[in-house]
Amino acid sequence: MGLGPAHLTGPIMGSSHRRRRERRFRRYLSRGRLSKAQSLFLRHPRLDIDAGEPPPLHRSCARHDAPALRLLLCLGADPTHQDRHGNTALHAAAQQGPSAYKDFFLPLMTQCPTAMKMKNKQGETPGELLGWESPPEPSVESEEEEEEAYREREWRQKLQEELEDEWQEMLGRFEGDEDATLDTPEPESFSAWTERLAREHAQKRRQQQATKRARHPKCPSASCRSWQQQEKECRLFQERAQAKEEELRESRARRTQEDRGHCGGDCNRTKPMGDLRKGGHTLWCFKDIPWPCLGGRDPEAMAAALVARGPPPTDRGALRKYLRAQQVQWHPDRFLQRFGCQIEAREREKVMEIVTALSQALNRHAEDLK
């Protein structure tokens, strides 16, 4: 049975993840983030910390980064690892001169004395780069330190293996990548965007309505009145309108009687303005005009009498409406148009003079109400 694409992508994905983690490990070292580098190696102990060109040990020596060198040696970096020129980490430390002997050359030589005999592609050993004719013999103390360091490395390696086994048993191996969080998410489609906005808007409207109902609860007795109460109010309104209409009718009849009383019982002089129509058999004189006051000599008094017969001063709206009707009735042009043919020619000028003065007096009363 042949292998499908799923069997081929597994190793490829694993190697690509491993190379990406190794690059991130070297980046942490170069930026001085040693705790990050150490935690990354503890999560993935199978990383090749000697990978890269130049290798991390060589780069630490070239950068004079002693903490990074100590961390790499503690994590198990190989001092005998050679770069493309055949140089080991001891070659890189020796190239930095005598100032790098204590912090770089000596720890590497103590960690791996056999690296002192390794030659690069030019045939040089680390001791020859330092100017030594023969490499110094390691002392008893250095051998003891080397053995103690070896035991420490063995112990740390066992701890790492146990930690990895426990991780795989309880939580499973972490195959993700920290850089995956930096990947650009898939863009949202237009339909998904509109649906999301509609959902958010509907949810916001529901929350606002719920808050409004909680702050202002409805009062059933005030908003939902019964039809009996509405019918009662309508009946009261009609009764008040009828009473007002009867009151107006009585007041008009009373004013008519007063006007007839002012005219002294003369039928010709008590005729209302509506009886002055064209086609009458007799012409009207000055005394035959139904003036508001007896005699019709004082326009101001007649205007005051008309105002007194109107609505009370407290009802300014009704009083203004009443005065507008009187202004129309006693306007000189309108009066002449309606009754000019019924007035004698010799009396017409005198009548129009009083009508004009009465109209001006009514205009002044109307202006005072504004």
Distances 189 to 193, 195, 199, 202, 298 between C-alpha atoms, Å: 6, 10, 15, 20, 91
Length of the chain, please?
A: 370
Residue tagged 């503690």 (tokens) = 74
Q: Which two tokens stand for residue 197?
A: 């906005």
Helices (H) and strands (E) in the chain, counts: 15, 0
Residue pLDDT, tens place only, 284-314: 888 888 888 777 778 888 888 888 888 888 8
Q: What is the mean pLDDT of the chain?
A: 76
Any residues with CB less than 8 A from the CB of 179 and at least 6 apart, and which?
Answer: 20, 24
Tell me, what's the pLDDT at 11? 53
How much is the pLDDT for 203? 92
pLDDT, position 227: 66
Task: Indicate if the pLDDT at residue 19 is higher than 50.
Answer: yes
Overall pTM surpassing 0.85 (yes/no): no
Q: Distance between CA 63 and CA 57 in Å, rounded?
A: 10
**For 183-223, where are the alpha helices, taking DSSP H only?**
190-215, 220-223
Question: Residue holding tokens 């770089």?
Answer: 104
Q: Which domains does the chain have, with CATH numbers?
A: 9-178 (1.25.40.20), 238-368 (no CATH)
Tokens of 307: 């105002």
Averaged over 224-246, what is the pLDDT?
A: 76
Q: pLDDT tens digit string along 182-228?
A: 455 667 788 888 888 889 999 999 999 888 888 766 555 444 456 67
At 167, which amino acid appears?
A: W
What mean pLDDT do residues 84-92 have? 81
Can you tell me the distance from the alpha carbon of 339 to that of 335, in angstroms, rounded to the nearest whole number? Answer: 6
Q: For residue 200, what pLDDT is reported?
A: 92
pLDDT given for residue 9 in this prediction: 47
For tokens 């202002």, the residue is: 216
Q: Which among 123, 167, 117, 122 is positioned nearest to 138, based on CA atoms?
A: 117
Q: What is the pLDDT of residue 260?
A: 60
Give, in degrees to the nearest 5, the angle at Cα 361 between 356 and 366. 125
Q: What is the mean pLDDT of residues 319-332?
A: 89
pLDDT at 1: 41
